[in-house]
Amino acid sequence: MAADIVYYREIGKPLKILTSPILRKIRREQRLKSRNVFTQSGMEKYWSQCVQSEKNDNVTSLFDTTIDFIAKNAETIESLVGIPEIIGEKLFSRYLYASFADHLIPTCETLKIFTNVYEEKMLYSLQLSNNSLTINEFLDLFQQLLTYVRELDLSKCLLGDNHEVIEQIRELKRLEYLNISDNALTDKTMRRLALGYPDSPVNLKYLDLSGNKRITNCGLEKLTCFRNLETLIISRINIDIEGISKKLNMEITNQSANYFIQTKGWSSPLIIGLVTAVNAMMNDEKATKDRRITRFYGNRQKICLNLFNEDNTSTETVILLRKRAITPEKPSKRKLP
């Protein structure tokens, strides 16, 4: 019976005893005699049993009570090293729920603790196409979450060469798929990606640079260091397609090579919440501005901004694919008579 008693202490309060009916039930049914549940494999199986058992129990389990308590005090966590993913995922989910319930945004320090341990589980892929306001509003959070991302879509954000997120791309070592089309980029970004080698995304397989009209052959030639690059999408303006295809050992194709990226990972509810909040704020501001313009002029006036694009000419997109190397056949050995 003593093994079913858990002692815990709150700050400034005496030691208390908390019993666990779920723990007793598991030990009675499974006959777990003298098992060390504090080993990594044993603990993971133990917690998974608790999760399965609590579904059929109306009583709040010790597991839920502990997770809720830690989630509400997540800012005091120093490390999660050794905690299995099944616990980390539920803990982060409860932490997000507690933050949203209190109308708070998760702190960068807490996100860093989770990201350092669970890496790409926190954010495997991110889709923020046409969401430049969301990026700028929560830049610190995105910079922390992007550390281990593998797929990234920042198309149509008009960020420019000097944006912090664009500069961070060269530090994303696990990045494989990248879409930074329509971002008003120049050869400066291409040089930065090459200068970061080999700490840059050496595993990059897919790169979409279409719509960046100021990128030239001089900038694209810097991509020769990315030997794993299989697909490159560019615009024909200011670029010698035949010359750059030979330089990069690639060939022009008519096949569709569009790769759709979705936001995946434990942080996906957080990303969706941030995007929704910014869009709602923009809709409210737009409605207020429209009412003021209508009230002042008597009719609504439309103002069109064409950033970074002086002309409205359509650009032709070209898709380049890596040439498949043909392995030469080994010469057959001739037998001597």
My answer on whether 4 and 152 are in the same domain is no
As a three-state string, the secondary structure of 30-63 is HCCCCCCCCCHHHHHHHHHHHHHHHCCCCCCCHH
Q: What is the pLDDT along the chain (337 residues), one digit of tens a residue?
A: 444 455 555 666 666 555 555 555 544 554 443 333 333 444 444 445 544 544 555 567 888 999 999 999 999 999 999 999 999 999 999 999 999 888 888 999 999 999 999 999 999 999 999 999 999 999 999 999 999 999 999 999 999 999 999 989 989 999 999 999 999 999 999 998 888 777 788 899 999 999 999 999 999 999 999 999 999 999 988 899 999 999 999 999 888 778 899 999 999 999 999 999 898 888 877 666 655 555 544 444 443 334 444 455 556 889 989 876 444 445 555 555 4
- Does 91 reside within a domain? no
Q: What is the CATH number of the domain that holds 203?
A: 3.80.10.10
pLDDT at 32: 41
Q: Give the number of domains in the chain.
A: 2
pTM of this structure: 0.72
- Does 126 reside within a domain? yes
My answer on whether 241 and 141 are in the same domain is yes
Write out the two tokens for 183.
Answer: 């971002």
My answer on whether 26 and 140 are in the same domain is no
pLDDT at 193: 87
pLDDT at 324: 66
Per the listing, tokens 């009209």 go with 213
pLDDT at 332: 52
Which residues form the domain of 15?
A: 1-34
- Does 63 reside within a domain? no
Write out the two tokens for 271.
Answer: 């990303």
- Does 56 reside within a domain? no
pLDDT at 33: 38
My answer on whether 148 and 246 are in the same domain is yes
pLDDT at 258: 80
pLDDT at 250: 94
Give 319's strand partners: 233, 253
- Does 53 reside within a domain? no
- Does 52 reside within a domain? no
Q: What is the DSSP letter of 174?
A: T
pLDDT at 326: 43
φ, ψ for residue 26, nearest 5 deg = -65, -45
pLDDT at 305: 39
Cβ–Cβ under 8 Å, residues 131 and 157: yes
pLDDT at 314: 56
My answer on whether 28 and 171 are in the same domain is no
- Does 50 reside within a domain? no
My answer on whether 30 and 129 are in the same domain is no
Cβ–Cβ under 8 Å, residues 247 and 221: yes
- Does 90 reside within a domain? no
Distance CA 145, CA 293 (A): 40
pLDDT at 194: 86
My answer on whether 22 and 128 are in the same domain is no
Distance CA 60, CA 20 (A): 10
